[in-house]
Amino acid sequence: MSVIVIKADSQNSKILKELAKKLGADVLNINEEQFEDIALGLIMDKVKTGETVSRDSIIKKLDK
């Protein structure tokens, strides 16, 4: 399976949605906030280090 995201105005989105359905693709509408959540998640996955940090060190950084 592959996924593409196309960000367009409402009229073009409607045309693209109809075309995708005619081609047999599933269409999922997402709002701007959901799009940002997905993008943030992808960025977080790219920079994931696998290292853990102690609670105390986080609290010390927040207190500064």
pLDDT in tens, 18-56: 999 999 999 998 888 999 999 999 999 999 988 999 999
Instruction: Give, as one character, the DSSP assignment of residue 61.
Output: H
Query: What is the DSSP secondary structure assignment for residue 1, as one 8-state letter?
Result: -
Confidence band of 4 (pLDDT split at 50, 70, 90)? confident
DSSP 12-58: HHHHHHHHHHHTT-------HHHHHHHHHHHHHHHH-------HHHH
- In 3D space, the residue among 62, 63, 1, 8 whose CA is nearest the CA of residue 35 turns out to be 8
pLDDT confidence of residue 54: 94
